[in-house]
Amino acid sequence: MGWLAHRSGRLSTAALVGVSTLLVTTVGAGAAPHHAPPAGVPSASTARQPALTRQLPAPPPPPVRKPTANPRVVKRTDAPAPLPSLAQLRSTSTVPSAAGSNAAPGASAAQRTLVLYDTTGQWGWLGEAYAVEAANLVSHGSAYVLHPVATYTAGELANYTGAVYVGSTYDEPLPLAFLDDVLSGSRPVLWMNDNIWQLTQRAANFSTQYGWNWVQFDFGNSTTVTYNNVALQRDPLAAPSGLLQTQVVDATRATVLATASGGSGGTMPWAIRGGNLTYVGEIPFSYVGPSDRYFAAADLTSQLANPATPSRKRALVRIEDVGADADPADLRAVADYLYSQRVPFTVAVISQYLDPNGVNNNGVPVSTSLAQAPDVASALRYMRARGGTLLMHGYTHQYSNVANPYDAVSADDFEFYLAHIDDANNVIYDGPVPEDSASWAQNRVNSSKLNFLMAGLPAATIFEPPHYAASAVDYTVFAANFGVRYDRGLYFGGWCPAGACGTGTPNYAEIYGQYFPYLVRDIYGSAVVPEDLGNVEPEPFNNHPPRLPADILASAAAAAVVRDGVQSFFYHPYLGTAYLQQIVTGIKGMGYQFVSAATVAAG
Ligand SMILES: [Zn+2]
């Protein structure tokens, strides 16, 4: 499961699994930076490719089709219900805005984290991307400031309770003041990957002070990272980027927090801690799949941001893609089961069903609002009475009358981003729609709000972008209207120049995605309720293998390494309730309690 980004700037999905999909961004053979390492630094002169991969949310496949002559789906009528007043369309967010803070609700007000990153070299833009991912994770625990390490000023670290440095450019020239402030030992620092050799060289005697040191880069195929006694996956594609091997030289001063194994190098430390320094021997934001060692990094990051992170064990389930074409019996069955289990849930509502080319209706176009599908609207009210919360899953969940990428039918296609399928059956992310703008996105949100009202449904307070994709501008519109998303994030290079997110021009050729194992506030300003386990897909699609309850539960076992982690999956009601029961039972059996999205969003 991966997206390949070509130098042309477009992305292709090599394979997709549910929404837990890996973005693989390749940049051309032989294009990797080549460095002749100076004496005394780790050997990395061969195969030293930057880790250019990213987790991207994958579009769910087309839903299982009902018979095309679906009596619940009717043609557009010429008698729409009366329009509500504009006042009824204003922001419906119920979550307090975080004015003055980029921390997520529930973060420690006493903590403040500095996030530093590399900017030089051919792959400098990746530094910002990795740092954004680190910062998004940090937000769970504290507010943060993000900026290039090059602009670090002497003494700056003292203004924070801790720092994360992501070393992504081999031999980025690090300010000596930064090295000295880290070595002063006064603040905890989480250091990822490159340039640790600059720190060890700067120290009077690093091994004595910290009790560990680096050995060399390992390019063996270490595919397992064991953390908190749980085996996490490391994609073999990450191996060529190298894993900086470390070793404990004084067990009274240093501790191995996680080990890597499975490759030619045997078992070696993956994360190590001595004194104020925690070190991870790679960038754990590359080639991220389900059940990934990313969970270990997410745990280390949030505990750096807030050592007092609570140890709650909460779970979420979202019922997906419910529009006017849904089967009310399916909806009621799901609601009855979850209610019987005292499981609150969220329902992702598509308020306007469109099939503009009639591909499921014998060539006759279909457009049906929820108000025009009263039995579905009634079933949604039934779901609410059984513990369901309705969120806005876009407006039509498709775009125009074109395949984007499948068939222009609601729930199949992207709404706020363009995509197509290439010759190798990969979904390619092409970029924003031609008319993309804040007003265009706002109009769609307004139209969906109208549909909720006309169907007699309460205003949604949470937004989920269809297929987890939108332009940067669209994301800011969602943040302004709702304050809370419930998804995986999609991000673009250039949005955070010098660490100031929202001040730059997004480069849609530099695209990357991220899922979260806990509540964050992402760089678009929304609190983001996590979805980290994906969904059941009985059939393969777009080069993704099937994903069954056992796979969801395996990912849950991996996510369990995260303190305060939320086990969160989504589910299509047309699958019936058997798979749903397996997952709910399994997650409960791991000691997690299902709660509402609002509970998680409150921090
Ligand atoms: Zn959807």
Domain locations in the chain?
109-305, 311-532+563-575+591-601
pLDDT at 268: 97
Residue 27 pLDDT class (50, 70, 90 cuts): very low
The predicted structure's pLDDT at residue 73: 31
Q: How far from chain centre, in Å, is Cα 171?
A: 29
593 pLDDT higher than 80:
yes
Ligand 1 centre and the CA of 534: distance in Å?
12
Ligand 1 centroid distance, CA of 59 (Å): 8
User: What value does the mean pLDDT of the chain take?
Assistant: 86
State in Å: Cα 133 to ligand 1 middle.
24
In the reported structure, the alpha carbon of residue 595 is separated from the centroid of ligand 1 by a whole-number distance in angstroms of 21
Query: For residue 122, what pLDDT band results from cuts at 50, 70 and 90?
Result: confident
Distance 62 CA to ligand 1 centre (A): 9
pLDDT of residue 75 exceeding 80 = no
pLDDT in tens, 235-282: 999 998 899 999 999 999 999 999 999 988 899 999 999 999 999 999
Instruction: Report CA(349)–ligand 1 centroid distance (Å).
Output: 9
CB-based contact 584:338 (threshold 8 Å): yes
Distances (CA, A) of 383 to 247, 329, 376, 564: 55, 11, 10, 28
User: 396 C-alpha vs ligand 1 centroid, how far in Å?
Assistant: 10
Q: Which of 518, 436, 509 is nearest to 477 (CA)?
A: 436
**CA 462 to ligand 1 centroid distance, Å:** 14
Q: Is the pLDDT of residue 98 over 50?
A: no
Centroid of ligand 1 to alpha carbon of 96 (angstroms): 27
Taking a C-beta distance cutoff of 8 angstroms, is the pair 394, 416 a contact?
yes
- What separation in Å is there between the alpha carbon of 470 and the centre of ligand 1? 13
* pLDDT higher at 122 or 145: 145
Contact between residue 39 and residue 6 where contact means Cβ atoms under 8 Å apart: no
For ligand 1, the distance from its centroid to the CA atom of residue 460, given in whole angstroms, is: 16
What are the two backbone dihedrals, phi and then psi, of residue 433, each rounded to the nearest 5 degrees?
A: -70, 155
CATH number, span 109-305: 3.40.50.880
Q: What is the mean pLDDT of residues 437-459?
A: 98
**Residue range 499-517: mean pLDDT, rounded:** 96
pLDDT for 302: 97
Q: Which amino acid makes up residue 341?
A: Q
With 0-12 CB in 10 A as exposed, 13-18 as middle and 19+ as buried, what is 561? buried
Per-residue H/E/C for 458-513: CCCCCECCHHHCECHHHHHHHHHHCCEEECCEEEEECCCHHHCCCCCCCEEEEEEE
Is residue 123 pLDDT above 70, yes or no?
yes
The predicted-structure confidence for 3-15, as pLDDT tens digits, reads as follows 222 222 223 332 2
Distance (Å, rounded) from C-alpha 502 to C-alpha 487? 20
User: How many whole angstroms from 255 Cα to the centroid of ligand 1?
Assistant: 44
3-class secondary structure, 213: strand
Span from the CA of 201 to the centroid of ligand 1 (angstroms): 51
CA of 305 to the centre of ligand 1 (A): 33
Q: What percent of the chain has pLDDT over 90?
A: 81
According to the model, what pLDDT value does residue 505 have? 96
**How far is the centre of ligand 1, averaged over its atoms, from the C-alpha of 291 (Å)?**
22
Domain 311-532+563-575+591-601: assigned CATH number: 3.20.20.370
Distance 180 CA to ligand 1 centre (A): 49
Q: How confident is the model at residue 100 (pLDDT cuts 50, 70, 90)?
A: low
Q: Is the pLDDT of residue 70 over 80?
A: no
159/85 Cα distance (integer angstroms): 48
Ligand 1 center to residue 467 CA distance, Å?
5
pLDDT, residue 508, reads 96
φ and ψ of 499, to 5 deg: 85, 0
* Ligand 1: centre distance to CA 425 (Å): 20
Q: What is the pLDDT of residue 463?
A: 98
The predicted model gives 11-36 an average pLDDT of: 29
pLDDT of 263 reads 86
For residue 71, pLDDT over 50 is answered with no
pLDDT(422) > 90? yes
CA–centroid distance, residue 393 to ligand 1 (Å): 7
Alpha carbon of 31 to ligand 1 centroid (Å): 37
Q: What is the pLDDT of residue 22?
A: 30
CA 89–ligand 1 middle distance (angstroms): 23
Ligand 1 center to 572 CA (angstroms): 9
Q: What is the pLDDT of residues 292-306, one digit of tens each?
A: 999 999 999 999 999
Going from the Cα of 574 to the center of ligand 1, the distance in angstroms, rounded, reads 13
Question: What's the 577 CA to ligand 1 centre distance in angstroms?
Answer: 19
* Ligand 1 midpoint to CA 509 (Å): 24
Q: Calculate the alpha carbon distances from 576 to 11, 278, 315, 321, 328 in Å.
A: 34, 46, 20, 14, 12
CA of 554 to the centre of ligand 1 (A): 23
530 pLDDT above the threshold of 80: yes
Q: Identify the pLDDT of residue 96.
A: 38
Q: For the ranges 82-91, 178-187, 349-358, which has the lowest average pLDDT?
A: 82-91
CA of 243 to the centre of ligand 1 (A): 37
Tokens, residue 506? 């997004």
Residue 411 alpha carbon to ligand 1 centre in Å: 5
Which segment of 119-128, 173-182, 490-499 scores lowest on mean pLDDT?
119-128
What spacing in Å lies between the alpha carbon of 4 and ligand 1's midpoint?
Answer: 23
Average pLDDT for 50-73: 32
User: What separation in Å is there between the alpha carbon of 323 and the centre of ligand 1?
Assistant: 10
* pLDDT single digits (tens) 269-292: 999 999 999 999 999 999 999 999
Cα(496) to ligand 1 centroid in Å equals 28
Predicted TM-score (pTM) of this structure: 0.86
* Cα(397) to centroid(ligand 1), Å: 7
Q: Going by DSSP bridges, is the β-strand pair 566-571/314-322 parallel, antiparallel, or unpaired?
A: parallel
Mean pLDDT, rounded, for 446-475? 98
Task: Compute, in angstroms, the gap from residue 486 CA to the centroid of ligand 1.
Answer: 12
DSSP 161-207: SEEEEEE-STT----HHHHHHHHTTSS-EEEEETTHHHHHHHSSSHH
Say if strands 388-392 and 345-349 run parallel, antiparallel, or are unpaired. parallel
| Span from the CA of 23 to the centroid of ligand 1 (angstroms) | 19
Give the Å distance between the CA of 494 and the centre of ligand 1: 28
State the pairing for strand pair 189-193/277-280: parallel
**In 3D, which of 58, 54, 142, 139 has the Cα closest to residue 514?**
54
| Span 361-379, average pLDDT | 98
**Number of residues assigned to the chain:** 603
Q: Which of 127, 563, 601, 6 is nearest to 302 (CA)?
A: 563
**From ligand 1's centre to the CA of 543, what distance in Å?**
19
Helix axes 549-559, 578-589, angle to 10 degrees: 20
How far away, in angstroms, is 553 Cα from ligand 1 center? 22
Ligand 1 centroid to residue 364 C-alpha, Å: 23
For 120, half-sphere exposure in the C-beta direction (CA atoms, 13 angstrom radius) is: 12
Rounded to the nearest angstrom, the distance between the alpha carbon of 270 and the centre of ligand 1 is 36
